[in-house]
């Protein structure tokens, strides 16, 4: 019985039971993660609940070091998220979506086969969509629609890949997949979309800032990190990923520099931070994979904290742009302090959690003599501190006197959630031992607190700070949007659509012209009575066609509505096919 | 609340003394770097004292220049571009 | 030359006899009902279908009847069940709509039954004459059905167009058959195959005839480029008739194509794979791309049905036993979900108002939440999103194609389903996210329609969750291949 204690099911059942619990909702929301935590402790290692389904081996639960690592941090993040959202505890739909989302990602993390994995990642996609569109604004709806289309594309890639992989290897087990065949490649593309690897990343920065405040806290933790888990499990050591990850770190940092919306700025930093993990998975050494796992763990905690801080500011002020904010520290000093703990963590200051995890990945790059990647990762570190640690807090909390009515500090449940996360961030930073003990590759020979590491990091960060003050006047945020790959489906799609439509129109015209000229030639050749029959019949048909064309008010986009055209197309096709077999084929 | 008063007073203190403190720390970090034991460097210059100080400063300039430059070039669009 | 009378195997054709008999009965009861009490007609039709279904189930051991003209095997049986199921659903869908359109009379149901008999003959045909007989029985009934809403010009246009082009296509078919007969001296598929394998004296006739046959069948299954009649006719015909035309006849023609091209891959000793693949890709792509821009739901579903024929043809191109079984399951699932979607269109339609524009679905989630959820399940299934049956069906077809090594065909199909999801989701978006233009009272449910939609949804979910049972059933059905 104890074999079946999958923490994911606690959330899925918890979501289903949500509408029944109205009175004790707050306790319920907090109890579900606690029970899940209990399950996490009790679930023994190994494969459980394996059965045969359509001739394939389904394994619903696979508990090993890697899935336990991600499982634990997901449970912690969901507990903090629930605490953070307690003031909105009566939005039943929102909480159902959130718990389905958490349950979905835990199921993916514990899945031992590709079919289970796929089904639950679809559950994640649709429940996370709800977290976005429940915001209710028109922008959120549209962003949500784009979001789900991208994720469906990823899903389709995964299905195709899984099918091909299953046929080629005869197995649907989710282990190292490799990219040697089309199946593995398609699955990789699906995971890369979910991990927001550029150029497939625009969905993230497009949708997350439009989500509900509570929803964004959840979103920041699960989708991309689940994808990182999948990449670590399935594609560790694929060199492409090491390079893509390094590019990602810089890509996110660069766009964040230009961003005005505080949650979008943080979203770009999700891309950047996930870049470290993708690079770690791609490098594939024991140290790198451990680093990717550790970084995912710490990242979920500090990124959640940062999104909580940004959400608290939006909750209190109703504003979300740096150009509108400024001087908030007077009213929200606690939020500011807790936000800064998150900012120091993401910037990898010594004694904060980012330091003990990020340095593993950077060190792995150094050990594998990937100097270019090593330098790129370090530049991204500087950029992270520059925008999350300096620019965003400077323009949000300080910069100038607050212009509007005085605002209130965030509600106590939000602060409590942020304190919870802060304690974890500092705790891991000071005592990395327990985290290292959870990592997948044992034993962990890594010491983050060497003098060179500490002094080097401090130099890097503080001189970046110096750079910030020197460059301050260039860094003032502006209103506006930054072009990203989303252009292709927000703008480009219409262009392409128009091109296709006009091409079809063109073909149709060509067909009709061809027909008419051919018809005229035939008429000239044979004026004798033998053809009058045909002409009369055909003419009548034409007239019928014309009549109905006039009467039908709908635009016939691709159809001329004329029978002769249809018949002619059929004849042309017949001649083509017959010609192929008579003259070309066998 | 007590804690927010405490935070605000710390901030006030920093406003007066913070800049001097900051520069003092910068100088100390680079000067102290000479005595820090180092492993084999990954590339020439890696083990020099103050390498990361230079690197951090240069990186912040580089990122700002590239991001702002590309923004000016074509990335930046008006707020209602997609509407 | 002594004439031998072949033994008469009544049990093999009992379903056809039952369906035709009940159709005649309907014509007679219609006289007494004088256009009133349409539900009596519907009940009679349903009883007829049930009886036929019973006969189809006790068909007995696989055998060839009527000196090789009629194949009474598992494959026939499986398809017969699909047809009867589909027609049954259409009968349920028709009651409310026909009542409102004032066309709920016995002749309508009689025509439905006659065309069902035609489809069953087609699925059982192992001879070109049987095939032609079934096809004509089906087509002529359909021509009339398409124009059944006599007072609407759109319906008349559809009927006339369908008739003229259909005649044209049948001309191709018949001419092709004549050529093949001329070249081989046989009308049964097995005999043609034997004769064609022997030598190539009359290769020209054989090939031209075979391509003509392909043209005719391509027209009936609405494969691109023989598809252009589809959107016009589907848009104009009454909704239940469109539902009927889009499901059963398509399955019937695919059954024929399977017999012709897959049962004996060496049919006419011509390599069909190339053109079947090309047609499949064109059919999928044109269907999906054209559906993207449609504003009329019926027209959009017409293009969607074109694309579904394309997916099924991927299985046809693979031509393995497994692929044939997966196509059979695909047709079963497709029949269920497509008729149910049209059922919802019929439910949304109001008296003297078709309401099939996409924007007519705006805000449906608020006024009729259950209906909106049903529609969402069905379009998700059409789009191929798990755990709905549409996904499983597509999955099996593609799996079979992968096993046959047709990777590029699978890739095209996967890309196409991604495109497809876009326009199917438009329904959901309209229903859940848009405000209706005018405030209308909620749609009134009709018991028969609710039963039809509920049955389909149960089927779609059931096949989606436990598909293996159905695939095994289809697998047993194609053992004779």
Higher-confidence position of C65 and A583:
C65
- A 10 A CB-CB count for B3 gives 11
DSSP 8-state symbol, A554: S
Q: Are C228 and A565 an interchain contact pair (Cβ–Cβ within 8 Å)? A: yes
Answer yes or no: do A566 and C228 touch at CB < 8 A: yes
Q: What is the pLDDT of residue A547?
A: 39
Predicted confidence pLDDT, tens digits, chain A (586 residues) = 678 888 999 999 998 888 888 888 889 999 999 999 999 988 888 888 888 776 778 888 898 999 999 999 999 999 999 999 888 888 888 898 899 999 999 999 999 899 889 989 988 988 888 888 888 787 887 788 778 878 888 888 888 888 888 888 888 888 888 888 888 888 999 999 999 988 888 888 888 988 889 999 999 999 999 999 999 999 988 889 999 999 999 999 988 888 889 999 999 999 999 999 999 999 989 999 999 999 999 999 999 999 999 999 999 998 888 888 888 888 888 999 999 999 999 999 999 999 999 999 999 998 888 889 999 999 999 999 998 988 899 998 888 888 888 888 889 999 999 999 999 999 999 999 899 999 988 888 888 888 888 988 999 999 999 998 888 888 787 777 777 777 776 666 556 656 665 666 666 566 666 656 655 555 454 444 444 444 444 444 444 344 333 333 333 444 556 777 777 778 888 888 888 877 765 4
Within an 8 Å CB–CB cutoff, is residue B15 touching chain A? no
Which among A464, A482, A490 has the least Cβ separation from residue B60? A464
Using DSSP, state whether A85 is helix, strand or coil. Answer: coil
pLDDT beneath 70, residues of chain B? 1, 83
Express each pLDDT in C452-479 by its tens digit: 999 999 999 999 888 888 888 888 888 7
Domain boundary among A450, A480, A510: A480
ipTM: 0.89
CB pairs under 8 A between A and C: 129
- Taking residue A311's Cβ as centre, other Cβ atoms within 10 Å add up to 28
Domain shared by A465 and A325, yes or no: yes
Residue A336 forms contact with B (CB below 8 Å) = yes
Q: In which residue are the tokens 């027609």 written?
A: C87
Range of the domain at A296: 236-480
Over residues C46-64, the pLDDT tens digits come to 999 999 999 999 888 888 8
Residues A331 and A437 in one domain: yes
Q: Give helix A563-579 / helix C203-221 axis angle, nearest 10°.
A: 140
Number of domains present in the structure of chain A: 3
- What A560-563 contacts at long range (C-beta under 8 Å, 24+ apart), as own/partner pairs, is A560/A508, A560/A512, A561/C232, A562/A512, A563/C161, A563/C164, A563/C165
Contact between C179 and C209 under an 8 Å Cβ cutoff? The reply is: yes
| Nearest residue in B to A494, CA atom | B82
Interchain CB distance below 8 Å, A468 and B63: no
- Judging contacts by C-beta atoms under 8 Å, the chain C residues touching residue A166 are 399
Is B59–A334 a contact, with Cβ atoms under 8 angstroms apart? Answer: no
Q: Cα–Cα distance between A114 and A478 in angstroms, integer?
A: 45
Answer whether the bond into residue C225 is a cis peptide, omega within 30°.
yes
Which region, left, alpha or beta, applies to residue B49 given φ > 0 means left and ψ of -120 to 50 means alpha?
beta
pLDDT of A540 reads: 43
State whether A163 and A274 are in the same domain.
no
Residue, of C422 and A512, whose pLDDT is higher: C422
Tell me the nearest-neighbour CA distance from A153 into chain C, angstroms. Answer: 6
Assess A384–B contact: CB distance below 8 Å, yes or no: no
Cβ contact A278:A365 at 8 Å = no
Same domain, A151 and A292: no
Q: Cβ–Cβ of A570/C385 closer than 8 Å?
A: no
DSSP A305: H
**How high is the pLDDT of residue A559?**
58
Query: Closest partner residue to B8 among A255, A333, A491, by Cβ?
Result: A333
- Determine contact: A427 vs chain C, CB below 8 A: no
Last residue of a domain, one of A480, A515, A540: A480
What number is the average pLDDT over the span C406-410?
A: 86
Q: Does A489 touch chain C (CB under 8 A)?
A: no
pLDDT for residue A502:
63
pLDDT of residue C351: 73
Select from A480, A505, A526 the last residue of a domain. Answer: A480
Nearest chain A Cα distance for residue C448, angstroms: 32
Give the residue from chain B lying closest to A261, CA to CA. Answer: B79
Question: Strand, coil or helix: what is A35?
Answer: helix
pLDDT score for C432: 79
**Chain B CB contacts of A458 below 8 Å:** 29
A254: contact with B, CB 8 A cutoff: yes
Q: Which of A538-547, C122-131, C312-321, C349-358 has the lowest mean pLDDT?
A: A538-547
Tell me, yes or no, if B60 comes closer than 8 A to chain A by beta carbon: yes
Polymer length of chain C: 481
- Please give the residue of chain A at the shortest CA–CA distance from C157: A548
Whether residue C403 and residue A122 make contact (CB cut-off 8 A), yes or no, is no
pLDDT at residue number C35 = 64
> Of A87, A112, A53, A142, nearest to A233 (Cα)?
A112
Check residue A324 and give its pLDDT: 86
Q: Is A334's CB within 8 Å of B52's CB?
A: no
Based on the domain organization, do A193 and A240 belong to the same domain?
Answer: no
- Tell me which chain A residue has its CA closest to the CA of residue C395: A163
Across the interface, which of A119, A167, A581 has its CB nearest the CB of C211?
A581
Same domain, A454 and A525: no
The DSSP annotation for B2-60 comes to HHHHHHHHHHHHHHHHHHHHHHHHHHHHHHHHTTS-----SSTTTTSTTHHHHHHHHHH
Alpha helix stretches (DSSP H) within A113-209: 114-133, 138-169, 182-194, 202-207
Contacts of B36 in chain A (CB under 8 A): 451-452, 455
Residue C422: which residues within 8 A CB-CB, separation 6 or more?
A149, C292
> Does one domain contain both A218 and A245?
no
* Binding partners of B (≥3 Cβ pairs within 8 A): A
Which of A372, A456, A475, A486 has the highest number of chain B CBs within 10 A, making it the mutation to test binding with B?
A456
**Domain identity same for A365 and A492:** no
Regarding whether A119 and A38 lie in a shared domain, the answer is yes
Contact predicate A290/A508, CB 8 Å:
no
pLDDT of residue A4: 82
Alpha carbon of A257: minimum distance to chain B alpha carbons (Å)? 7
Q: Are residues A124 and A255 in the same domain?
A: no
Note which residues in 266-305 of chain A have CB less than 8 A from chain C.
Answer: none
């Amino acid at each position: 019985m104890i074999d079946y204690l999958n923490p994911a099911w606690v959330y899925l059942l918890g979501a289903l039971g949500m509408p029944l619990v109205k009175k004790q909702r707050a306790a319920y929301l907090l109890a579900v993660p606690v029970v899940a935590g209990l399950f996490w402790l009790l679930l023994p290692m190994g494969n459980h609940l394996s059965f045969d389904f359509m001739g394939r081996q389904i394994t619903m639960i696979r508990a090993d070091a890697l899935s336990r690592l991600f499982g634990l941090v997901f449970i912690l993040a969901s507990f903090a998220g629930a605490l953070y959202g307690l003031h909105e505890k009566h939005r039943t739909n929102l909480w159902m979506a959130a718990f389905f989302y958490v349950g979905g990602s835990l199921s993916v993390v514990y899945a031992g086969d590709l079919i289970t994995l796929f089904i639950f990642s679809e559950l994640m996609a649709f429940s996370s969509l709800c977290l976005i569109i429940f915001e209710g604004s028109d922008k959120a709806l549209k962003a949500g629609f784009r979001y789900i289309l991208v994720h469906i594309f990823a899903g389709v890639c995964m299905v195709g890949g899984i099918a091909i992989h299953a046929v080629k290897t005869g197995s649907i087990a989710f282990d190292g997949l490799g990219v040697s065949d089309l199946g593995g490649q398609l699955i990789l593309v699906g995971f890369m979309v979910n991990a927001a690897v550029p150029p497939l990343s625009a969905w993230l920065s497009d949708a997350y800032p439009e989500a509900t405040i509570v929803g964004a806290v959840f979103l920041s933790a699960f989708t991309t990190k689940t994808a990182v888990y999948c990449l670590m499990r399935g594609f560790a050591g694929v060199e492409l990923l090491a390079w893509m990850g390094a590019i990602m770190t810089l890509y996110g940092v660069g766009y964040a520099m230009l961003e005005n919306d505080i949650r979008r700025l943080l979203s770009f930093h999700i891309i950047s931070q996930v870049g470290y993990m993708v690079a770690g998975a791609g490098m594939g050494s024991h140290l790198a994979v451990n680093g990717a796992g550790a970084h995912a763990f710490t990242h979920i905690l500090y990124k959640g904290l940062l999104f909580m801080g940004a959400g608290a500011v939006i909750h209190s002020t109703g504003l979300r742009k740096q150009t509108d904010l400024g001087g908030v520290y007077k009213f929200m000093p606690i939020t500011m302090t807790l936000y800064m703990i998150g900012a120091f963590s993401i910037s990898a200051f010594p004694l904060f959690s980012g330091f003990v995890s990020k340095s593993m990945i950077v060190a792995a790059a150094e050990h594998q003599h990937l100097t270019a990647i090593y330098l790129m990762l370090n530049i991204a570190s500087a950029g992270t501190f520059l925008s999350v640690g300096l620019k965003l807090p400077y323009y949000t909390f300080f910069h100038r006197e607050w212009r509007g009515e005085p605002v209130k500090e965030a509600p106590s449940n939000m602060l409590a959630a942020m304190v919870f996360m802060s304690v974890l961030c500092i705790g891991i930073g000071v005592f990395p031992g327990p985290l290292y003990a959870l990592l997948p590759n044992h034993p962990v020979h890594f010491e983050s607190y060497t003098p060179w590491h500490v002094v080097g990091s401090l130099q890097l960060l503080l001189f970046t700070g110096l750079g910030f003050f020197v460059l301050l006047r260039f860094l003032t945020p502006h209103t506006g949007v930054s072009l990203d790959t989303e252009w292709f489906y927000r703008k480009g799609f219409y262009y392409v659509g128009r091109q296709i439509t006009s091409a079809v129109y063109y073909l149709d015209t060509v067909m009709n012209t061809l027909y008419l000229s051919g018809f005229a030639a035939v008429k000239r050749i044979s004026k004798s009575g033998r053809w009058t029959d045909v002409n009369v019949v055909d003419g009548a048909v034409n007239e019928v066609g014309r009549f109905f064309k006039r009467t039908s008010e709908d635009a016939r986009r691709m159809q001329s509505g004329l029978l002769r055209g249809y018949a002619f197309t059929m004849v042309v096709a017949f001649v083509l096919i017959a010609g192929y077999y008579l003259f070309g084929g066998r | 609340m007590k804690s927010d008063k405490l935070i605000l007073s710390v901030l006030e203190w920093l406003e007066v003394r913070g800049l001097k403190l900051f520069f003092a720390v910068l100088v100390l970090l680079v000067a102290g770097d000479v005595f820090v034991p180092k492993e084999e460097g990954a590339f020439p210059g890696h083990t020099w004292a103050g390498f990361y100080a230079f690197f951090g400063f240069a990186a912040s300039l580089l990122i700002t220049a590239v991001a702002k430059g590309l923004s000016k070039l074509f990335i930046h669009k008006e707020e209602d571009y997609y509407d | 030359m002594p004439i031998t009378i072949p033994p008469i195997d009544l049990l093999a054709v009992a379903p056809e006899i039952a369906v035709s008999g009940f159709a005649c009965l309907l014509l007679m009861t219609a006289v007494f009902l004088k256009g009133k009490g349409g539900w009596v007609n519907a009940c009679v039709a349903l009883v007829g279908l049930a009886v036929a279904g019973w006969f189809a189930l006790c068909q007995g051991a696989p055998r060839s009847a009527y000196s090789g003209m009629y194949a009474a095997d598992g494959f026939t049986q499986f398809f017969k069940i699909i047809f009867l199921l589909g027609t049954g659903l259409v009968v349920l869908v028709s009651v409310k709509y026909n009542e409102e359109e004032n066309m709920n009379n016995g002749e309508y149901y009689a025509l439905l039954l006659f065309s069902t008999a035609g489809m069953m003959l087609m699925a059982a045909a192992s001879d070109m004459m049987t095939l032609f007989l079934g096809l004509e029985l089906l087509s002529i009934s359909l021509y009339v059905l398409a124009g059944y809403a006599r007072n609407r010009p759109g319906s008349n246009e559809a009927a006339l167009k369908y008739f003229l082009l259909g005649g044209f296509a049948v001309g191709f078919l018949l001419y092709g058959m004549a050529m093949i007969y001329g070249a081989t001296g046989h009308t049964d598929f097995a005999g043609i195959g034997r004769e064609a394998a022997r030598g190539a004296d009359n290769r020209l006739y054989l090939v031209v005839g075979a391509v003509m046959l392909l043209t005719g069948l391509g027209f009936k299954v609405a494969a691109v480029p023989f598809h252009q009649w589809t959107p016009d006719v589907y848009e104009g015909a009454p909704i239940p008739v469109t539902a009927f035309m889009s499901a059963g006849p398509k399955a019937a023609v695919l059954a024929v194509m399977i017999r012709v091209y897959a049962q004996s891959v060496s049919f006419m000793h011509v390599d069909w794979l190339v053109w079947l693949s090309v047609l499949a890709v064109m059919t999928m792509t044109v269907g999906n791309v054209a559906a993207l821009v449609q504003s009329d739901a019926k027209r959009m579903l017409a293009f969607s049905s074109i694309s579904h024929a394309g997916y099924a043809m991927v299985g046809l191109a693979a031509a393995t036993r497994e692929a044939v079984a997966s196509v059979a399951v695909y047709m079963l699932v497709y029949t269920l979900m497509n008729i149910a979607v049209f059922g919802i269109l019929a439910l949304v339609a109001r008296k003297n108002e078709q309401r099939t524009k996409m924007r007519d679905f705006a805000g449906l989630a608020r006024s009729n939440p259950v209906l909106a959820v049903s529609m969402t399940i069905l379009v998700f299934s059409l789009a191929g999103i798990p755990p709905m049956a549409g996904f499983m069906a597509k999955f099996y077809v593609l799996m079979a194609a992968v096993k046959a090594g047709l990777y590029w065909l699978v890739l095209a199909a996967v890309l196409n389903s991604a495109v497809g999801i876009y326009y199917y989701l438009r329904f959901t978006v309209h229903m859940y996210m848009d405000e209706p233009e005018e405030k209308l009272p909620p749609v009134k449910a009709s018991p028969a329609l609710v039963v039809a939609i509920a049955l389909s949804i149960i089927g779609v979910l059931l096949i989606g969750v436990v598909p293996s049972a159905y695939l095994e059933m289809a697998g047993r059905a194609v053992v004779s291949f």
